[in-house]
Structure 1
Amino acid sequence: MSRLIAFNKPYGVLTQFSGGGEGLATLADHIDLPGVYPAGRLDRDSEGLLLLTDDGRLQARISDPRNKLEKTYLVQVEGLPDNEALTALERGVTLKDGPTRPAKARRIDPPELWPRVPPIRERKSVPDCWIELTITEGRNRQVRRMTAAVGHPCLRLVRWRIGPVTLAGLAPGTWMELSPTIFPRSKRPEGPPDPQGRRPSASPARAKRATGKPPRKGRPSKAPRRGG
């Protein structure tokens, strides 16, 4: 039976089990389970929900951006985003690595969270507020770059939800075991790609069931050309 772990990653913890270096905390300081690995990442300066599993296919279903699994973040930002800024986040903003997918964004009241250690640097002359941002991607520091792109740098970032799993009832630095069946199997083929990067197609029997007709027999393909 596969294992699935939900962990509330504290600020400053690296999303890895080794190689933290002197004075740097890693997952090994909080999780003593052999064989589990993170399904996705959280930056060292981000907090919140991290899922770990010992099942490679489940790990791919959770972390593969092609599955468009929703991830919700609670984000404290500088300034007071207006409707125009929130609409820009929802439509997608253009970053250096291309435009983001459409998202969900809204202003929220300050959530009841644990104090961050160390606390954020507050400036009395600059107001701040919280927004809830839901995305279906996982680019490097994406949420921080998105809020900065609309003029509101991120002060604190907490991932609250991944698909059906939330942080509810999970204190920082603690974990709990979940049933892996909460993440249904992907409909896309899970076999390895062929040498040209294509996924395996449906079997002849499956094709016949889907169309009511046997699959057409094509000509043998020519040997692929080698690139120069």
Structure 2
Amino acid sequence: MNKLMTTVAAISLAAMTASANSSEFRAGAILNGAADYATATETLKDSGRRHTQEAVLAHNYFSVFAEFAIDAGNGIAFGIEYAPESIELEAETRVLDQDARLGGGTNDDGTQTIDGQVSDLLTVYVSVPLGATGAYARLGYNTATLDTRETLTTGSTYSSVDMTGTQLGVGYMGNIGERAFYRIEGNYNAWEDIAVNGSEVGGTAGSFNKIDAKITGASARLAVGMAF
């Protein structure tokens, strides 16, 4: 949150100090096509058994943005992007048969369903022109909330998780008439490692099921907007 507030303050400062004759405000909408790769390891309470699962998730979503460019046309720009709708994740189902594998008595057998959604996806960013060609590079800071909806044989549930990460991208901006513009962009996102405990305490005090996850992803984006 401190990083987010610092970035927002920097955007405000740039807006106040830039020349009114050369600056430009822009706003628009983005169609995102994204693919994320996740590796999650669940460590069971008491037994300490670990189960690792990898998944690739492809999804589409819309976002909106507003930004301030110090120089109209090809100047450095500071912006904020937000996805107003939640991004639904595909449910993953697996069947556990620990009794057959480990000789019985585990109480962890059955079908588990892992499901969830990502909400409040917010990015603050700066874009830097690469010459006067319309190409640019982009650096962003992401925040989001991962809301889990799972059915686990262990009886545990996992609370929502606040996520933060960084974004690197390149793109091209072209004009549509006098005020409208379009962008074609590609981004790479790297989220900070996630660690969350389950809700059910084990036989040992302070023992909980635990999930550790790593998520990275890439996106291709098409944006349209207006400059004022």
The answer, yes or no, to whether TM exceeds 0.5 is no
TM-score, normalised by the number of residues in structure 1: 0.21
Q: Greater helix share, 1 or 2?
A: 1
- Of structures 1 and 2, the one with the larger relative CO (CA 8 A, separation 6+) is 1
